[in-house]
Structures are given as structure tokens and as C-alpha cells.
Structure 1
Amino acid sequence: MAKIVCVLYDDPTTGFPTSYARDDIPTIESYPGGQTAPSPKAVDFKPGALLGSVSGELGLRRFLEEQGHTLVVTSDKEGPDSVLDRELPDADVVISQPFWPAYLTAERIAKAPKLKLAITAGIGSDHVDLDAAIANGMTVAEVTYSNSISVAEHVVMMILGLVRNYIPSYQVVVDGGWNIADCVERSYDLEGMNVGTVAAGRIGTAVLRRLAPFDVKLHYTDRHRLPESVERELNLTFHPSAADMVPHCDVVTINAPLHPETEGLFGDELLATMKHGSYLINTARGKIADRDAIVRALESGQLAGYAGDVWYPQPAPADHPWRTMPHHGMTPHISGSSLSAQTRYAAGTREILESWLGGTPIRDEYLIVDGGRLAGTGAHSYSTRV
């Protein structure tokens, strides 16, 4: 029998919900490109429920315990006395989320000799040391595409929020004011702007498709160039690197995975080549942007705005400078954890567990590391240091 340790974020401060704003959510059966949505044999939850917090348990407890497995669910993940660290030595599986990552460092993996599977409930497995996972014969899997469209929608919202100066204007209303000049002194139209994405995978391409109707000029860079038919359809301009692309853009959105090639990419040097007064959106990973360089660029006016919902570390400390820097639109890491997305990534987590526990192959698009190497989606999206 297996021991599964599941690290999830805390319940709402008002308590676990007993009702929801909506009675149902749309059923998504497949994604653009044809990949089918998660298809476990069954689920033990109602779609649209809060599944990503501790009491939601990703809807896994009944399924696992009826088969005799042990499930430990916690939000306590930091430090040697955390529940995660106490439970790791005899854990077979660790489930974590990008929103509340259980950082599976090489040190932690070394202390978990039974650990064979790390699952990301969502997408993005950079919180796992992939080199250590490879060296230790682990499998790393994530629920690819489960919340890609959720993130793409969040990106478009943040672009419009910054360019149209929405957040300060909303605050004027909350504060009882009506000074229109205060609201519009930093408000522009997105129409006609040059918008570029760093990476045009599932999320980046979805962002481009959603922005095309805004009559913007679209740019992208990716180590895998899109088919000519897609470039023609969306009137895309391809650039061989971020350094080549960003000087042309009024808005840049980062939609790349974190790996050695992207870590610290947006530092002082690259930011200095961007248009003065441009906007930067980062819903990918916090460490792709240099923390202090972003603050400097906003304070100097090199950036007109920065928005994102990814930080390092996560959760971000109360004194993290991105909380108080000017002209930002930051959120905690929520872009891929809407209740709609949770339905899919919880179902996908169960599908991965059903395969692994049943000794059948995990579908290729969910694999990041397997058989001592990068595999599946991991081979396409990640690089390692070895």
C-alpha cells in the first residue's frame, strides 16, 4: 500500500464553503489541438467545488482509502519540523501545487528513499529538482493543459487592467471619489499596440488568440517555432529570442516554464532594452524576473506597469517589495486555480494516480520526468543542468 502526501493551500479564512456563487460550470471535454481533458475512471467531488485547499483534498480521500492507501493532506510545508518534512521519509507519492509549492529539493528527495512519484496538481513542475528526480529514478508528472486557458484569461485581464489603469480607478470608487483625471492620467487603449509573448506553447498561443480581436500587432519568441499556418492566421511576427523581441513591444507577457535558460531572464540588462513605458506581465514563474530589477524599472518609469501572480518564494513574505512597488497589478498565485480549473486538475491528479497505482502508463503529455530522463511534455518544455 502507498503513502501519499498532498500539500495544498489553506482553507478560506471564513471557513470551507458550504455553498458557491454558481450552481454549475461548463463541461470541458477537450482542449485546442485535440488533447482530451482528464478522464479518470470516476471522481468523488462535484465540479466547481473548492478542491485545491486542505479540506477539499483534491477529492482523493475516498478513492485512496478504499484501496487501503494512506493520504496525508497538509498546508504545512516549510522548515524541518513541518508536516511535509516529517511525513516525507516514508512517502511514496508527493502531490503539490504551483500555487502552494512543496519545494522538492535535492536535500528533501535524499531524505525520502521511498519517493517514486511527484505530481503537480496543475502545470509547472519547477518546484521539483528535476536533476535530483532523474538521479533518483523518480517519475514527475503534471496535469498538462488542465488550467492553461485559465492562465491565458488571467493574462488578458492583467494586460487590460494595467493599460487601462483599472485598479487605481476602481480604488477611486471604493474610496468614495470621482476624480476622472486621476483615473485617466495613466490610461491608454490597447488597440494598435505591439504585444509579444515569451514562449508560445499552450498558454502563450492561447493568449495570442485571445488578443488578436483587439487589433494589436502580435509578436512571439519560442525555441519551437509555430507552424506557418498559425503565424499567417494570427499575423504573428517571430523573433529568435526575447532579446530580439522586447524592443519592439509595448506589452510583453511571459508564458515560459522556469528552467536554467529562463531563470533571471528579465533583469536590468533586458529590461533596459524594452520600450520606455512598456508593460510586463508574468504569470509564468517569479524567478524568470529579477525581483529588484523589476522594482527599479517601475520606479524609474522604464516600465509603466508590472502585473503577475507568480512570486519567489511562494507564499511571498509580507515584506516582499513587489507588494508595495508602484504601478503593479499583482495577485497571489491564482491564475490557474479558478474553481473551473480545479475540477480539471483534481480529475487529472486522480487519473495519474489511477495509472501509477494500477501499473499502467501515465499518458505521455502528463510526463515531465520518467525512466531516468526528461520525458513527454518535459522533454519539449524543460532543460536540466546535467
Structure 2
Amino acid sequence: MEELPYALLSHSGGSRGLPKHYESIVKQHFHIVYLDEFNNNKELYAPKVQALLLWWHLPVVTKELLESFPNLKVVSSSGAGVDHMDLKLISSYGIKVTNTPGVGNDATADMGMALMLASAKNVVEGHGISCSPDTKDFDFNWVGDDITEATLGIIGMGSIGYSIAQRSKAFRMRILYYNRNRRPVEEELAVGAEYCNTMADLLQQSDFVMVVVKLTPETHNLIGREQLQLMKSTATLINISRGQVIDQDALVDALKCGVIKSAALDVTHPEPLPRDHPLLKMKNLTLTPHIGIATDKTRRRVLEKVVLGAIGIIKGLPVTGMVDVL
């Protein structure tokens, strides 16, 4: 029987380590070495490790770590984003990089819809009022917003953005989108989406603005003071991409001064925010802890793709999810 190659992971369990009940997915193709185990016996494991498996960005890939493994062939990372890795550094050692684009599309799109609905329907505030020991009566003149037949502006019409459009069609929403490249007309017609030539046009018309872009130098602070000022004062901003895509200082001011009605975020920078961050004091903010793809089914599929990408590189097989290093 062929000896399985070795893969390094950061640690088992806890809030960021590989869940113990997921280990069997890795063990189908690899012997697992955790970082503490490696550090306690470097001479044994250093030449054996051929893959680094990053489970939610850990371990952090440094020059020192890369130089510890003379036979390392691949860094395989969970998630679609690669902004947590120095790709040029990794590539300089002749090491391939894989990730898991597309696996979490549906779960992330579901999260975008959940945030939009929760914000519009005052779900979090309503829960607090309903459970509060101080509540004696309900204010039936307190109202939320309609989703049905409202205008949704999607910034970033990739696969996740398109999945959101598909869901939004069921609410009879008017769907606008802004993207680097326009979608084929037949895809627009399938969801009833209208292309906007400028982001400003989308911002001015939308009741809900959903940000679904990759973090790049071009999208850093994509939504700043100027863009927030273009939005309706009754609009809600939703971010399911990366925290750095929005200027958080500008967002605090916009929420505080009524430039926009509310915001719903699954991502911030940093994560978590410092406990004294002014965003946490905003009553018109719905905030969740980056749980867009946090379902058991999706997480298992992500890990399977991480493992298959790594073992594919080691065996010289065709691999989907290869990351290009520019």
C-alpha cells in the first residue's frame, strides 16, 4: 500500500483549528502533522511534509515556515480569498497555491439575503425587545422596510452576486448591478438584472446596496464618503465581501448622521473589531462574525476541495482552484 504524504495544519479544535470530526476527510489522502507536533520533532517531519493546508488562514505562511520544508510542493487554502497570503513569496520557492473558489457561493448568497432581510425587518432589534424583561407592550407603529419590489444594487456580479440576483428575483426586486464586465444578455434576462455603466448610477437608485467583490488594491475602500453620499438616505448597505472594501470611518459617520439608514455587515477590518470601536455603538447596524459560509455542509465541501487540490498537485494531476501568481 502506498505511503500517504504528510500535510501540516496549524492545530486541532478550538475556534480556528481543524474540527476533530473533520480529520477523517484529510486522513483519506494525508498523514496529519499539527504545528506543535512539528515544532517538537522538526528533524522527523521537515523532510516529510509536502503540503500546507490552511484552515481559515492558519498557519500563517512566512518565509521561515516555507524554509522549514525542503520537499513542500503546495499551499492549499480554504476560501476563495487569497489576500492573507504572500503569493509572490510562496511562488519564489516553486510552491503551487490552490484555494476553493465557488464552493461557498450558495452559503454566502444566503447570508447576503439573511442580512438584507434581518436589517429590513428589524429582526435583531425585535428579538431584543421581545425577550427584554423591561418590555410591557409592543409599539405597533414601529415599522421596517419592504424587500418585495424594492431596488437592490449588486456591486460585483460574479458567481455570488449572480446567486443573490437569482434569490432576489423571487422577491420581485428590481435588480441593478455594477461589474467590471457586463454579463451576457441572456443571463441578465434570466434574473431580470439591469446593468449600470457607473457605480454612482447604481448607488443613487438602490434601496439596498450589496457589496460582493474580491479584495484587491482597486477595491480597497471602494465604498467611501463620496459613495455613501450618493446613496439614498433610506438605503441600507450590506457587505459580504471583505471589511477593507468599505471605509469604516466614513460608514460610522454616515450611520451617525443619517446619510444612509442602516448597514448590515458580515465582515469588518479587523475581525473582531476592537471592543471600543465606534461601529459597535451604532444602533442602525446589524453585524455578524464572518459566518457567510459557516454551515457544516459547506465547510466539509471546502475541506474536501482543499485536500483534493493539495493531493492533486503532489500527484501531478489536473487541479481546479489553482491560484495564478501575477
Same fold (TM over 0.5): yes
Cα distance in 2 for partners of 1:256, 1:361 equals: 27
The residue identity in structure 1 corresponding to 2:53 is: I
The residue identity in structure 2 corresponding to 1:55 is: K
Aligned partner of 2:284 among 311, 327, 334:
327
Q: What displacement does 1:111 show?
A: 5.3
The residue identity in structure 1 corresponding to 2:9 is: C
- Length-normalised TM-score, structure 1: 0.72
Larger deviation: 114-123 or 157-166?
Answer: 114-123
Cα distance in 1 for partners of 2:23, 2:263 equals: 32
Tell me, yes or no, if structure 1 residue 55 matches structure 2 residue 20: yes
Partner of 1:11: 14
Q: Could you list the runs of 5+ residues in structure 1 that have no partner in the other structure? A: 13-50, 75-82, 375-386
Partner of 2:138: 180
Partner of 1:161: 118
Aligned partner of 2:208 among 238, 242, 251:
251
CA contact under 8 A between 1:54 and 1:73: conserved in structure 2?
no
Cα distance in 2 for partners of 1:275, 1:94 equals: 46
**Partner deviation per Cα, 1:312-333 (whole Å, 9 max, x = no partner):** 2234443344333221111111
CA contact under 8 A between 1:7 and 1:101: conserved in structure 2?
no
- Length-normalised TM-score, structure 2: 0.84
Tell me, yes or no, if structure 1 residue 233 matches structure 2 residue 198: no
Tell me, yes or no, if structure 1 residue 101 matches structure 2 residue 57: yes
**Partner deviation per Cα, 1:67-88 (whole Å, 9 max, x = no partner):** xx452168xxxxxxxx8xx9xx
Partner of 1:305: 262
Give 1:361-376 correspondences, 5 Å limit: 361-363=318-320, 366-369=321-324, 373-374=325-326
**Partner deviation per Cα, 1:285-316 (whole Å, 9 max, x = no partner):** 11101121111111111122211211222344
Tell me, yes or no, if structure 1 residue 112 matches structure 2 residue 63: no
CA contact under 8 A between 1:140 and 1:368: conserved in structure 2?
yes
Larger deviation: 56-65 or 147-156?
Answer: 56-65
Runs (4 or more) in structure 1 with deviation over 6 Å come to none
Q: Secondary structure at the match of 1:270?
A: helix
Q: What displacement does 1:142 show?
A: 1.4
Aligned partner of 2:34 among 66, 72, 88:
72
The residue identity in structure 2 corresponding to 1:353 is: A
Tell me, yes or no, if structure 1 residue 338 matches structure 2 residue 295: yes
Cα distance in 1 for partners of 2:141, 2:87 equals: 46
CA contact under 8 A between 2:242 and 2:267: conserved in structure 1?
yes
CA contact under 8 A between 1:158 and 1:329: conserved in structure 2?
yes
Aligned partner of 2:171 among 185, 204, 214:
214
Distance 1:312 1:112, change over 3 A: same
CA contact under 8 A between 1:102 and 1:127: conserved in structure 2?
no
Q: Could you list the runs of 5+ residues in structure 2 that have no partner in the other structure? A: none
Cα distance in 2 for partners of 1:309, 1:8 equals: 25
Q: What displacement does 1:61 show?
A: 4.9
Q: How many residues align?
A: 313
Partner of 1:350: 307
CA contact under 8 A between 1:193 and 1:217: conserved in structure 2?
yes
Cα distance in 1 for partners of 2:220, 2:302 equals: 26
Q: Secondary structure at the match of 1:368?
A: coil
Distance 1:73 1:322, change over 3 A: farther
CA contact under 8 A between 1:64 and 1:70: conserved in structure 2?
no
Larger deviation: 194-203 or 121-130?
Answer: 121-130
Cα distance in 1 for partners of 2:311, 2:117 equals: 41
Distance 1:73 1:246, change over 3 A: farther
CA contact under 8 A between 1:58 and 1:346: conserved in structure 2?
no
Q: What displacement does 1:337 show?
A: 1.7
Cα distance in 2 for partners of 1:308, 1:9 equals: 29
The residue identity in structure 2 corresponding to 1:228 is: V
Give 1:32-47 correspondences, 5 Å limit: none
CA contact under 8 A between 1:11 and 1:55: conserved in structure 2?
no
Partner of 2:231: 274
The residue identity in structure 2 corresponding to 1:281 is: I
Distance 1:292 1:184, change over 3 A: farther
Tell me, yes or no, if structure 1 residue 140 matches structure 2 residue 143: no
**Partner deviation per Cα, 1:125-161 (whole Å, 9 max, x = no partner):** 2211334444444322112211110010111011011
Q: Secondary structure at the match of 1:94?
A: strand
CA contact under 8 A between 1:278 and 1:303: conserved in structure 2?
yes
Q: What displacement does 1:198 show?
A: 0.8
